[in-house]
């Protein structure tokens, strides 16, 4: 916690990269230092500062590898469908797999459910890279739903009434998943659930929600293209309407917190720690010197 005579700033217990993002960045840096022609499909993480830095070290971002004949492809933390990995290897491309171990466990959970005869249902965003990776790990089509409305829509075309096996996008909020699963209970005879929500994500969400309830203003720091940051900000807003989402200290308008005595700060899992620290310092510097603490 940091406190001045007029304001206290409380930081969430954990800010900065999660271990999966740290691991992916380290593996990419190692590949860049040891190999030539390192490229990646899409962004390694959803943070421009980080991707700019890696591109400065030589990482090439490509939308498709069909024109790549050699080189090294980094698989990002969200994973990649297995047929795409196999296809790249067939083309003679080396692969550095930075898929987060927790995402790999979600893929394995979906495979287990499929093998045991369940219709796999994934609660998640069908356009997210992680979900595409999980779908690519399965032999048969899975159903992907991200809201109760989508579940009802799917019921018309999918046979949901017998055995379904459910997993969750690793970065999803338990609150959202719970409400969808409750609805499924009214539609199906047998449901097996494997909780694939990432523990670091859940800990951060729980911590941020506790914090949001105690403060006059909650600030969530991270990219607007980062799904977990956007979701964290939405959750905090649900518990404290006075929540703002900023990408960095430059986006902070001092007017927003000029009358706030207690300000909380949390961050997404792909937000560099120094960006969060810069936000904390800015909130403090607009007041006579305070002190800071952890939640």
Using CB under 6 A as the criterion, which residues of the chain lie in contact with ligand SF4 when the complex forms? 18-21, 77, 100, 102-103, 170-171, 198, 200-201, 269
Cα-trace Rg, the chain: 21
- Spot the catalytic one: 130, 231, 277, 287: 130
Q: Which is nearer to ligand SF4, 24 or 38 (CB)?
A: 24
CB of 77 to ligand SF4, least distance (A): 4
Structural contact between residues 17 and 94, judged by C-beta atoms closer than 8 angstroms: no
Q: Which is nearer to ligand SF4, 198 or 212 (CB)?
A: 198
The Cα-based distances of 155 to 162, 185, 205, 216, 221 in angstroms read 12, 13, 30, 42, 37
Structural contact between residues 236 and 187, judged by C-beta atoms closer than 8 angstroms: no
CB of 24 to ligand SF4, least distance (A): 7
Q: For residue 168, list its beta bridge partners.
A: 123
Q: Which is nearer to ligand SF4, 102 or 279 (CB)?
A: 102
Q: Which is nearer to ligand SF4, 28 or 170 (CB)?
A: 170
Rounded to whole angstroms, the Cα distance separating 237 from 9 reads 18
CB of 197 to ligand SF4, least distance (A): 9
Does residue 183 have an active-site annotation? no
The token duo for 198 is 């990432």
Neighbours of 4 (CB within 10 A): 18
Q: Which residues contact 256 (CB under 8 A, 6 or more apart)?
A: 217, 244
Crossing angle of the two packed helices 19-34 and 101-115, in degrees rounded to 10: 110
CB of 291 to ligand SF4, least distance (A): 31
The angle at the Cα of 62, spanning 61 to 65, to the nearest 5 degrees, equals: 140
Q: Which is nearer to ligand SF4, 50 or 160 (CB)?
A: 50
In the block, tokens 């829509």 appear at 153
Q: Which is nearer to ligand SF4, 102 or 160 (CB)?
A: 102
CB of 139 to ligand SF4, least distance (A): 24
**Taking CB positions, which residue lies at the least distance from ligand SF4?**
20
CB of 15 to ligand SF4, least distance (A): 13
The Cα-based distances of 137 to 56, 105, 202 in angstroms read 33, 11, 24
Q: Which residues are catalytic, by number?
A: 130
């Amino acid at each position: 916690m940091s406190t001045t005579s007029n304001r206290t700033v409380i930081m969430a217990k954990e800010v900065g990269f999660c271990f999966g993002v740290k691991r992916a960045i380290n593996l990419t840096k190692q590949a860049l230092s040891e190999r030539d022609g390192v490229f990646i499909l899409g962004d390694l993480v959803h943070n421009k500062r980080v991707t700019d830095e890696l591109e400065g070290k030589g990482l090439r971002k490509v939308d498709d590898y069909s024109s790549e004949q050699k080189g090294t492809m980094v698989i990002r933390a969200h994973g990649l469908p297995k047929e795409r990995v196999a296809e790249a290897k067939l083309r003679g491309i080396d692969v550095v797999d930075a898929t987060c171990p927790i995402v790999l466990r979600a893929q394995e959970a979906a495979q287990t459910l499929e093998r045991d005869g369940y219709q796999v249902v994934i609660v998640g965003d069908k356009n997210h890279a992680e979900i595409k990776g999980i779908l690519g790990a399965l032999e048969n089509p899975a159903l992907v739903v991200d809201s109760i409305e989508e579940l009802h829509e799917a019921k018309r075309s999918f046979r949901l009434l017998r055995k379904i096996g459910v997993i969750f996008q690793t970065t999803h909020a338990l609150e959202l998943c719970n409400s969808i699963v409750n609805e499924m209970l009214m539609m199906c005879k047998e449901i097996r659930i494997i909780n694939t929500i990432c523990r670091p994500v859940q800990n951060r969400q729980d911590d941020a929600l506790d914090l949001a309830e105690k403060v006059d203003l909650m600030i969530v720091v991270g990219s607007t293209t980062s799904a977990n940051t956007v979701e964290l900000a939405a959750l905090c807003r649900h518990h404290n309407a006075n929540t703002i989402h900023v990408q960095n200290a430059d986006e902070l308008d001092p007017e927003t917190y000029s009358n706030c005595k207690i300000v909380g700060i949390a961050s997404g899992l792909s937000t560099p720690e120094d960006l969060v620290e810069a936000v904390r310092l800015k909130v403090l510097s607009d007041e006579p010197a305070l002190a800071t603490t952890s939640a």
